[in-house]
């Protein structure tokens, strides 16, 4: 590692000694042993961010929902399925200098998972009572002791992207929001490119559409600057 630093000239690892937690992917919320509620997140953007941060020298824990993405080099991966499991894994990984909540966490889960597969009956339809999932991003943002220095949320919107994202930043009490438009026509959800807005305390930047790897590298640089 000292050798690495020598060849890299030191500054190539601006996040050395920094601990970062990244969440990525969807969550799956079971309805019964075979059915679940899911979302279209591929996990790609979060995995790219975890990899980019590791390349800048950070100690990265990636808490991942179900996805076919491969673990980036140098990243410690923790696999989870549900929002509750994701929250527990993030809490276990704390403290950290930065937490980046990229995962598309299900807002709701089914109140009581059925123990056996629900059957069609003549009586009609099963009753799915939804309850709200824990809000992982807000939970970290409002920590009174040991709050990470920089808490970043993602906003996947299908309309009024920037307005919704700024409102989300205020509501969640996080520091930054990375917002993108995931409406069907953009091809972003599940695709390889992203076009995001970085919304901070006092600025809004629209980044050009680019590969998710480039978006990740730019965000990692921004984080390194901020923690610098």
Among 10, 11, 12, 132, binds a second copy (CB under 8 A): 132
Choose the stretch contacting a second copy; rule: CB under 8 A; options: 17-25, 114-122, 146-154, 195-203.
Answer: 114-122
- Work out whether 142 is an interface residue with a second copy (CB under 8 A): no
Q: Which is nearer to a second copy, 52 or 106 (CB)?
A: 106
Among candidates 75, 93, 86, which has minimal Cα distance to 216? 75
Classify burial at 88, counting beta carbons within 10 Å of its beta carbon; exposed 0-12, middle 13-18, buried 19 or more. middle
Task: Fill in the per-residue mask, 23 to 42: x = in contact with a second copy (CB under 8 A), - = not in contact.
Answer: -----x--x-xxxxxxxxx-
What are 78's strand-pairing partners? 63
The token pair that represents 143 in the structure block = 């920590």
What are 206's strand-pairing partners? 197
Cα atoms in the Cβ-side hemisphere of radius 13 Å centred on 87: 14
39 annotated active-site: yes
Q: How far is the CB of 109 from a second copy (least distance, A)?
A: 11
Place of tokens 């695709």: 191
Q: Which positions lie near a second copy, rule CB under 8 A?
A: 28, 31, 33-41, 68, 104, 106-108, 116-118, 120, 125-126, 128, 130-132, 156-159, 182-184, 189
């Amino acid at each position: 590692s000292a050798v690495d630093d020598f060849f890299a000239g030191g500054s190539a690892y601006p996040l050395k000694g920094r601990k970062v937690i990244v969440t990525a992917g969807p969550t799956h919320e079971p309805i019964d042993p075979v059915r679940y509620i899911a979302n279209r997140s591929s996990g790609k953007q979060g995995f790219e961010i975890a990899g980019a941060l590791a390349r800048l020298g950070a100690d990265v824990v990636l808490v991942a929902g179900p996805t076919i993405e491969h673990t980036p080099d140098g990243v410690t991966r923790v696999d989870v399925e549900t929002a509750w499991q994701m929250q527990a894994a993030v809490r276990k990984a704390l403290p950290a200098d930065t937490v980046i909540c990229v995962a598309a966490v299900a807002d709701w889960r089914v109140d009581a998972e059925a123990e056996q597969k629900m059957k069609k009956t003549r009586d009609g339809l099963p009753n799915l009572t939804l309850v709200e999932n824990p809000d992982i991003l807000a939970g970290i943002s409002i920590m009174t002791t040991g709050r990470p220095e920089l808490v970043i949320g993602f906003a996947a919107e299908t309309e009024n992207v920037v307005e919704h994202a700024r409102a989300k930043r205020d509501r969640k009490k996080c520091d930054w929001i990375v917002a993108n438009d995931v409406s069907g026509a953009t091809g972003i959800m599940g695709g390889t490119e992203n076009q995001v807005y970085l919304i901070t305390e006092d600025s809004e930047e629209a980044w050009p559409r680019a590969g998710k790897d480039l978006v990740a590298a730019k965000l990692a640089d921004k984080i390194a600057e901020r923690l610098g």
